[in-house]
Amino acid sequence: MASSKTPRHGVIAHPRRAGALLAEGALVAFPTETVYGLGADATNGEAVARIYEAKGRPSFNPLIVHVPDLAAAEPLAVFDPLAHRLAEAFWPGPLTLVLPLREGHGLSGLVTAGLPTVALRVPALDLAQAVLAAAGRPIAAPSANPSGRISPTRAEHVLEGLGDRVDAVLDGGACAVGLESTILRTDPPTLLRAGGVPVEEIEEITGPLARDTTPGKVSAPGQMTSHYAPVVPVRLDVTGPDEDAVLLGFGPVSGDLTLSASGDLREAAANLFDHLHRADALARRSGKSRIDVAPVPEMGLGWAINDRLKRAAAPRG
C-alpha cells in the first residue's frame, strides 16, 4: 500500500523520538496493542486541537488519555474501589475507564470536550509504553484514522488516511489485538463500547454490566452509527459468494479474504480492520459494488467485532 502522503518528520522507528516530538507539541501517530493512536500532549490545548483538525472530528467528541500506569492515572481522575479493582486486573491492556476528573488534573478542556469525566487507558504494548515514558506527560490519542473511517492497525493505514496531516508516524508493525479498547464507566458499572477485553472477563469482576452501546445512540459520544465505514457499502450475515461483492469470510464461510478460517475470534479481531481496508481497496479495484461479511458469533470478542461491523454497514449519515 504505497502512499504519496508523507509526514513532516517521516516514518520513524524510535519511541524516544516519538515521545520527544509529542513533548514539543507535535502530532505523532504511534502503535498500541489495539489500534494506532493519533497522539498529542493532553495538557497542551493547541496540540489537542490539531487532533480534531487532522481527523475532521466533531469537537464535542472527547478523547482517550493514555498514561503509563495506575500511579500516573490517579492524579487525573477519582478512582472508586471498583475502578481500582478493574485497573489492577486489566491494566496495562485494552480497557478504558471513564471516571470523574480530579481537581487540578492539568488536562486541556478540549480533551474531555468539557465533560466532567475523563477516559483513561494504560496501553500494554512496549513501544507505546516507551513513547509515554519519553513524553513524560499524559497523551491524548484517538484512533489514527479520518473521522468515520476504518481504524488503523498498521502504519500504512495511518499514512493512507492521515499521512499529510501528522508530523510523524512511529511504525510498530501490525497491532496484536486489532480492536479498540473496551470502554467502561464504573458508577454505575456500564459498558460504553465493546472492545479488546471480552465483556465476559470484565463481568467476572463487576457482575452483569448495564450496556449503553446502542448504535446511533451517543453515549460514548464517539459512538455514532455510521463509523468505521469503508468507501463501498457493507452487507452483513452473508453465507456465500456473490459476483457483485468482495466476500469477507469467517469460519465455515471462506471468502476473498477470511477473518479466521478456524473460527478463532481473537484472530478475527486482529484481522478485522486490516481486512476491511483490503476488501475496500479490492472492491474498488475490481469494480465490485459491495463488501459482504459472513456471520460472526455473538460471544467473547465477537460482541466487539459485530459492533464494528454493524457500524461499518450502517446507513451513511
Residue of 83, 130, 183, 259 interacting with ligand TXA (CB under 6 A): 183
Tell me the closest approach of the beta carbon of residue 282 to ligand TXA, in angstroms: 25
Torsion of CA 161, 162, 163, 165, to 10 degrees: 160
The entry of Mg ion, ligand TXA, none that residue 117 binds, CB within 5 to 8 Å by partner kind: ligand TXA
**Which grid coordinates belong to 309?**
461491523
SS3 content of the chain, % helix, strand, coil (to 5): 30, 20, 50
Indicate whether 213 belongs to the interface with ligand TXA (CB under 6 A): no
Tell me the closest approach of the beta carbon of residue 117 to Mg ion, in angstroms: 18
Number of residues counted as binding ligand TXA (CB under 6 A): 29
The entry of Mg ion, ligand TXA, none that residue 190 binds, CB within 5 to 8 Å by partner kind: none
Residues in 103-162 at the binding interface with ligand TXA, rule: CB under 6 A: 112, 115, 117-119, 121, 141-143
**Which grid coordinates belong to 285?**
479495484
Indicate the residue among 94 and 255 with the shorter CB distance to ligand TXA: 94
Task: Specify whether the CB–CB gap between 260 and 274 falls below 8 A.
Answer: no
| Apex 159 CA angle, 276 and 307, nearest 5 | 30
Residue of 44, 129, 143, 181 interacting with Mg ion (CB under 5 A): 143
* Binding region for ligand TXA (CB under 6 A) out of 61-69, 207-215, 251-259, 300-308: 61-69
Show binding-site residues.
34, 57, 61, 66, 117, 121, 141, 143, 151, 181, 193, 228
Binding mask 90-129 for Mg ion (x = CB under 5 A): ----------------------------------------
Which residues, 6+ apart, have CB-to-CB distance to 208 below 8 Å? none
- Rounded CA-CA distance 129/120 in Å is 14
Name beta bridge partners: 234: 291
Q: Phi and psi at residue 118, in whole multiples of 5°?
A: -135, 145
- Rounded CA-CA distance 211/218 in Å is 13
Indicate whether 37 belongs to the interface with ligand TXA (CB under 6 A): yes
**Cα-atom radius of gyration of the chain, to the nearest Å?**
19
Tell me the closest approach of the beta carbon of residue 190 to ligand TXA, in angstroms: 10
Report the interface residues with ligand TXA, using CB under 6 A. Answer: 32, 34-35, 37, 61-64, 94, 96, 98, 112, 115, 117-119, 121, 141-143, 180-181, 183, 192-193, 220-223
